[in-house]
Structure formats: C-alpha cells, structure tokens
Amino acid sequence: MTAAPTTTTRPYTLIAELTYRCPLRCPYCSNPIDYLAHKNELSTEDWCRVFGEAEELGVVQLHLTGGEPLARKDLEVLVARAREVGLYVNLVTSGIPLSRERLEGLARAGVDHVQVSIQSSRAALADEVAGYAGHAKKLDVMRWVKELDLPLTMNVVLHRANLDEIDELVALAEEVGADRLELANTQYLNWALSNRDVLLPTREQIERAAEKAAPHRDRLRGKMDVLFVKPDYFGTTPKACMDGWARRFLQIVPDGRVVPCHAATSITSLVFDDVRARSLKEIWETSPALLAYRGEEWMQEPCRSCDKRAIDFGGCRCQAFALTGDAAATDPACRLSPNRAAIDAAHAGADAGMGVRRYLYRGPAARATR
C-alpha cells in the first residue's frame, strides 16, 4: 500500500488514445488535424507501465480509445493489464473492424463496458457522415456486446444532419438493448471546427431535440441512461470543461504526450511531457503544460472575480485558444466574454451554410465530397 498522492488534486480517469489510426473519416473527429504527423505510437510495454502508474496516482476509470483502438493488435494484452491493476476498462470503439471472436476475446480479457459510436439511425446518412459503409456492421457489434452480457453505451455525436432523429436514435438504442445512450452534441474543436459551418445546427433544432430527449430520459430512468447536454454555443454559460484543466482527467495521446483533454495539443503555445521520458506522477504534479491552467491563478477578468469560477473553471481552454488566440481568455461561450462575438459569427457562418452538406472528411488528403 503506497501513500495517497500528496497533491490536492487526483486524476480519476485516464483517457488512453492508443492510436490515431481509424477506418472512419468523420468530419467531427476529435483527433488533431495533423494526426498523421504523430505515428510514433507507444509500445505495449509503455502502456502496461503507464496503466500501473495511473492506478498508483489514483485513477479508477480507463478509457481505451483512439482513433480506433481495435487497430492495436495488442489490445487484448492492454485490457488484461488494465484489469490486473484494478482499472474499470471502457472500450470506446467504432466497432470496425471487429469479429465476434475478437469481441469474445476482449470480454475474456476483462473489458467492463463497450461504447459504440453510431452516426445516424439511417444507414445511408450514417455511412455518408462516417465516410465509410459501416453502419450495418455497427448494429451487429452492438448486438454481440449485449449477447456477451457486457454493458453497452450507444454514442451519437449530434449535428445539423442528425439532430432531428432523437426519437429514432432512442428507439435504436432500446432495440439493441443499450444501457446508456449518449446524445453528445458536437464540440467545435479540431476537425469539427473545420466543418463548423456545415455541422452547426439551428437554435430551433437544439430546442426541439432537447424537448424530445427529456421524456425518453424520464421514461427510461433506471433502465437506460439517456444523456443529452445542450451545447455551449447555444447557452450563456460555458461548460465546466473536463471538470477543470488537469483536475480529474488525464489523457495520453498515441505518441505518449500527457494532455488534459483530447483537443489540448491544438494549443500551440504549450509543450507536453512524454511518458517515455518521465513518470506519470512526475508529469501530473509538475508538467508546466498541466500546471498552466490548473486552479485559478491563470485567470483573467471577467473570470478572475467571477463567482462561478469554481463551477465552470472559465470554460474550455482549447475553445478560448481556437476562437481568441489566447488560451487564458474567458471561453467565448460565456455571455460575459469580451469575445462573445466569435460565437455570434459562428452562427452567422452556419446560417450561410444551411442547405449545404459538403464535409471536409478527416483524412490524409482531406477532400470535400458531395
């Protein structure tokens, strides 16, 4: 038994991005735009060591994600190691490519929960959004997950083209026996920011979707968790992004850099430490990039004197950087931000893009189709 960490903050969740490789090309992918420049993936041994170090630090939840984690041939080994050290293992996958035999092997290795992404309730649209004909396969995978008696989350990233499908998506989740349904509105960072004009819905769409989701949530309470969170672009307060920078969550990108969230490498003013060079504990406690926006010292006005600063932590640092060029600025999603006009401009851009569906797909030679 080791002593409890001495820092006041402790990570509960490690998000392990095992690879950026993925057969899908979703235009809202949360991977960085320059993902192809980071092909130097951590080895099996590196990840196994890191899982142990994460547990020592206080982590209890592990998300194995990517890219597509199934692209790692050593996934079974990694799952078994994570279970060995006592972590709760969430596999976040597109379900492609996956055979029933491999899923059985992953279940034997100790996966606790499987989260499958679905692009739409309609196959044609789903395949169009993914840039890959995988919808039918995903339905099979979700059924296998339940046949193997594993907890299943169906995860849908919502945007203009599928936001009117709430009833159909809930029906699909019920049909496959999902335990959780995450109706997650697009966060406009990385690829989604590049596609914002064609993804951003109207306010009416958001309101309608929220009204449709609420009764399902009540009806299914205790049976299926239905999550629907209104996106920050349509509110007046920013989201409590990651429960605060490097506070509860820890993320490691495929090449071993330790970041506070999936979009943080887009903040070009920060240099992130590598788990191959230093221990995870040392990085968590002393990495300048993690200390940069942890706590409140970094805050500017209006955050610095705001009575909500311990609730929303000033919002999203990546969004502040993307929309203002200053990662320490108040998130423009806040009505008090002096840069609030950036959100209004986004809505104007989206209004101009109505009726257009020309995605910039994630990919090497990113090309628009349709």
Q: What contacts 304, CB < 8 A, 6 or more positions away?
A: 296
Pick between residue 52 and residue 302 the one whose CB is nearest to other proteins. Answer: 52
Decide whether 205 or 279 has the Cβ nearer to other proteins.
279
Work out how close the CB of 58 gets to other proteins at its nearest, in angstroms, rounded to a whole number. 5
Query: C-beta of 30: minimal distance to other proteins in Å?
Result: 16
Q: Is 83 in the site for other proteins (CB under 8 A)?
A: no
- Please select the residue that binds other proteins; options are 6, 8, 222, 355, rule is CB under 8 A: 222
Told to check if 69 binds other proteins by CB under 8 A, we report no
Candidate segments 36-44, 107-115, 264-272, 283-291, binder of other proteins by CB under 8 A: 107-115
**Cβ neighbours for 43, distance < 8 A, ≥ 6 positions apart:** none
Considering the rule CB under 8 A, would residue 281 count as an interface residue with other proteins? no
> What's the number of CA atoms in the CB half-sphere (13 Å) around residue 6?
4
The packing angle between helices 135-147 and 166-176, to 10°, is 40
Nearer to other proteins, 12 or 298 (CB): 12
Q: Could you tell me how many residues make up the chain? A: 370
* Cβ at position 222, least distance to other proteins in Å: 5
| Integer Cα distance of 326 and 159 in angstroms | 27
Residue 110 interacting with other proteins (CB under 8 A):
no
In the complex with other proteins, which residue's Cβ is closer, 60 or 210?
60
Give the separation between CA 28 and CA 275, rounded to whole angstroms. Answer: 28
Over the window 170 to 209, marking each residue x when it contacts other proteins by CB under 8 A and - when it does not, the resulting string is ---------xx-----------------------------
Q: Which residues pair with 62 in a beta bridge?
A: 14, 89
Q: Which residues contact 36 (CB under 8 A, 6 or more apart)?
A: 20, 364
Sole window of 34-42, 55-63, 124-132, 324-332 interacting with other proteins (rule: CB under 8 A)? 55-63
Chain positions 129 to 168 lying near other proteins, rule: CB under 8 A, are 149, 151, 153
Cβ atoms 15, 262 nearer than 8 A = yes
| CA–CA separation, 153 and 159 (whole Å) | 19
Residue 21 to residues 25, 26, 29, 37, Cα–Cα distance (Å): 10, 13, 12, 12
Both tokens assigned to 290: 């993690």
Could you tell me the smallest distance in angstroms from the CB atom of residue 206 to other proteins? Answer: 23
Given the rule CB under 8 A, which of 86-94, 165-173, 308-316, 326-334 is the region that contacts other proteins?
86-94
Report the alpha-carbon distance of residue 210 to residue 101 in Å, rounded.
Answer: 38
Q: Which is nearer to other proteins, 60 or 328 (CB)?
A: 60
| 336 CA to centre of own chain | 26
CA nearest neighbour of 196 among 72, 313, 34, 353: 353
Among the listed residues 150, 93, 162, 77, the one whose alpha carbon sits nearest the alpha carbon of residue 122: 162
Residue closer to other proteins by CB (options 60, 336) is 60
Q: In this chain, which of 30, 31, 65, 115 binds other proteins, going by CB under 8 A? A: 115
| Partner residues linked to 264 by β-bridges | none
> Judged by CB under 8 A, which stretch of 44-52, 215-223, 250-258, 359-367 contacts other proteins?
215-223
Least distance to other proteins from the beta carbon of 119, Å? 20
The residues of the shown chain that bind other proteins, judged by CB under 8 A, are: 1, 4-5, 10, 12, 58, 60-61, 86, 88, 90, 112-113, 115, 149, 151, 153, 179-180, 221-225
